[in-house]
């Protein structure tokens, strides 16, 4: 990675503004149900505190759309951070303004302050220059450790870098390193697995990965468009008719690299308890819908994965939220857990599926940013990364 990190600058005694991704799920009582995003930033926070920095954390939570929403305050995050860091994390009532400035002014080395939800201000998403300047005025140095928001040019991800020296945190460094090496210098054979609902969501990824991979496995709802391109009927399955010609073109260009399911699990309704059965891809009944890959497909895909040395996975193989249709996704996750290959899970639903299967600790790297990792795999620049100082 050619970007500076917290290791490359002096932080002792400095006020360090850290952009984290604390967009964690909350239950109806306002309790955090999954703290992985908080845990992920701990190495950076612990390092900064050990070096004697004054740590000022900022993040968004949910979609308050520029207004204060009580249920989206960061109080639960401050509480959990206090527990994990074994120190009091002071939460401010806003993220800019005189009251915030007073709290920051009395900070001592090693102290941690968490600013209130950035998106309570519409100026955050608008990347308003004055808002960014007010955030930056709180600190001497800026550290971005929020890969999950790096694909957005917001005030706290891009705007502040015009006013402060800007470097990456350890999580950001890890994300860029693993994804970057997979795309530029993979140990071969290099296999990509793409799933999820729509081909349109992954067009850029497919186009960028095809020249780089040795095999591209396609599953999930997006495979239906390829089935249609092959002349198969897909019943009542999710289908993007306007992308069939694109699928035909991809099949022509990369027939030797593309691996599609050969059998599928179909159901008579989109429901967890729907009647279902396994059929070949060319025998999908009318009015039934494809909700998972079948056992022959699993066997075919695992055979490919056993030979792989690098695997990138983005998107589930079926409707994994329903246990009856999670079999294919879990089988792929299990195969990756058992391989000796470098395994990179591209965040979002893929990360959730691996977590659900209890296999997270057996993957080489699980990205914390679904949208960001997807754009990275497309070969796009990420504003939050591009804005950081080069080494």
Domain around 66: 6-171
pLDDT of residue 81 exceeding 80: yes
What is the CATH number for 10?
Answer: 3.40.50.1260
**For residues 259 and 193, what is the distance between their CA atoms, to the nearest angstrom?**
9
Does 383 fall in a domain?
A: no
pLDDT of residue 371 exceeding 90: no
Which residue in 263, 364, 250 sits closest to 317, CA to CA? 263
- At 356 the pLDDT is 86
- At 352 the pLDDT is 87
**For residues 176 and 80, what is the distance between their CA atoms, to the nearest angstrom?**
27
144-200 pLDDT, tens digit each? 999 999 999 999 999 999 999 999 999 999 999 999 999 899 999 999 999 988 888
Contacts of 163 (CB under 8 A, 6+ apart): 132, 133, 136, 137
Judged on CB neighbours under 10 Å (0-12, 13-18, 19+), 185 is exposed
pLDDT of residue 252 exceeding 80: yes
- At 200 the pLDDT is 84
**For residues 384 and 33, what is the distance between their CA atoms, to the nearest angstrom?**
27
Same domain? 186 vs 126: no
Does 149 fall in a domain?
A: yes
pLDDT of residue 316 exceeding 80: yes
Same domain? 62 vs 153: yes
325-338 pLDDT, tens digit each? 999 999 999 999 99
Whether the CB-CB separation of 16 and 53 falls below 8 Å is answered with: yes
Same domain? 349 vs 318: yes
**Max Cα distance, the chain (Å):** 70
- At 103 the pLDDT is 98
Does 212 fall in a domain?
A: yes
Does 52 fall in a domain?
A: yes
Which residue in 351, 373, 371 sits closest to 174, CA to CA? 373
- At 255 the pLDDT is 85
- At 198 the pLDDT is 84
Per DSSP (E only), the strands in the chain are 15-19, 54-58, 89-91, 112-114, 141-144, 166-168, 190-194, 215-218, 258-259, 263-267, 276-280, 289-293, 310-314, 342-345, 365-366
pLDDT of residue 347 exceeding 80: no
**For residues 191 and 148, what is the distance between their CA atoms, to the nearest angstrom?**
24
Strand pairing class (166-168; 141-144): parallel
pLDDT of residue 72 exceeding 90: yes
Does 384 fall in a domain?
A: no
Q: How confident is the model at residue 368 (pLDDT cuts 50, 70, 90)?
A: confident
pLDDT of residue 25 exceeding 80: yes
Same domain? 238 vs 363: yes
What's the mean pLDDT in 11-25?
A: 97
- Cis? peptide before 189, omega within 30° of 0: yes
Average pLDDT, the chain: 95
- At 197 the pLDDT is 85
Same domain? 198 vs 160: no
93-148 pLDDT, tens digit each? 999 999 999 999 999 999 999 999 999 999 999 999 999 999 999 999 999 999 99
Q: Write down the pTM of the prediction.
A: 0.89
**How far is CA 167 from each of CA 9, 71, 123, 140, rounded to the nearest angstrom?**
8, 32, 23, 12
Same domain? 157 vs 186: no
Final residue of a structural domain among 171, 191, 217: 171
Does 388 fall in a domain?
A: no
Final residue of a structural domain among 171, 205, 225: 171
**How far is CA 372 from each of CA 32, 68, 181, 346, 378, rounded to the nearest angstrom?**
23, 26, 16, 9, 10
Final residue of a structural domain among 137, 171, 205: 171
pLDDT of residue 1 exceeding 80: no
Angle at the Cα of 96 (from 141 to 369), degrees rounded to 5? Answer: 60
Strand pairing class (263-267; 289-293): antiparallel
Same domain? 190 vs 337: yes
Same domain? 85 vs 50: yes
- At 204 the pLDDT is 87
Tokens of 195: 């799933």
Tell me which residues are annotated as active site. 37, 198, 348, 371
What's the mean pLDDT in 350-378?
A: 90
Domain count, the chain: 2
Give me the phi and psi of 321, to 5 degrees please.
-65, -25
**How far is CA 279 from each of CA 258, 288, 328, 330, rounded to the nearest angstrom?**
21, 11, 14, 19
**For residues 36 and 360, what is the distance between their CA atoms, to the nearest angstrom?**
11
Whether the CB-CB separation of 160 and 132 falls below 8 Å is answered with: yes
Same domain? 120 vs 196: no
């Amino acid at each position: 990675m050619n970007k500076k990190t917290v290791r490359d600058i002096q932080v002792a005694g400095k006020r360090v503004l850290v952009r984290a991704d604390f967009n964690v799920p909350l239950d109806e009582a306002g309790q955090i149900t999954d703290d992985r995003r908080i845990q992920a930033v701990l190495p950076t926070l612990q390092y900064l505190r050990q070096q004697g920095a004054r740590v000022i954390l900022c993040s968004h939570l949910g979609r308050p759309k520029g207004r204060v929403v009580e249920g989206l305050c960061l109080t639960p995050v401050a509480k959990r951070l206090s527990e994990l860091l074994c120190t009091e994390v002071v939460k401010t009532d806003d993220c800019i303004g005189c009251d915030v400035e007073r709290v920051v002014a009395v900070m001592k080395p090693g102290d941690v302050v968490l600013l209130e939800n950035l998106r309570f201000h519409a100026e955050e998403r608008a990347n308003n220059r004055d808002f960014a300047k007010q955030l930056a005025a709180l600190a001497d140095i800026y550290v971005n450790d929020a890969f999950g928001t790096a694909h957005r040019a917001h005030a706290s991800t891009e705007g502040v870098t015009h006013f402060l020296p800007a470097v990456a945190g350890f999580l950001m460094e890890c994300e860029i390193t693993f994804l970057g090496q997979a795309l530029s210098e993979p140990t071969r054979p290099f296999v990509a697995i793409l799933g999820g609902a729509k081909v349109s969501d992954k067009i850029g990824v497919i186009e960028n990965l095809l020249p780089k991979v040795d095999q591209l496995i396609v599953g999930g709802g997006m495979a239906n468009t390829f089935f249609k391109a092959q002349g198969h009927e897909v019943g009542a399955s999710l289908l993007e008719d306007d992308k069939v010609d694109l699928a035909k073109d991809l099949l022509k260009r990369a027939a030797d690299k593309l691996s599609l399911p050969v059998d599928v699990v179909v159901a008579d309704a989109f429901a967890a308890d729907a009647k279902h059965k396994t059929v070949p891809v060319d025998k999908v009944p009318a009015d039934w819908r494809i909700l998972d890959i079948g056992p022959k497909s699993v066997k075919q895909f695992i055979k490919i994965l056993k030979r792989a040395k690098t695997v990138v996975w983005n998107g589930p193989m079926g409707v994994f939220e329903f246990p009856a249709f999670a079999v294919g996704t879990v089988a792929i996750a299990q195969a990756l857990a058992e391989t000796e290959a470098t395994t990179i899970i591209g965040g979002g639903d893929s990360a959730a599926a691996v977590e659900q299967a209890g296999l997270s600790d057996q993957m080489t790297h699980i990205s914390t940013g679904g949208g960001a990792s997807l754009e990275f795999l497309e070969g796009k620049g990420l504003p939050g990364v591009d804005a950081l100082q080069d080494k």
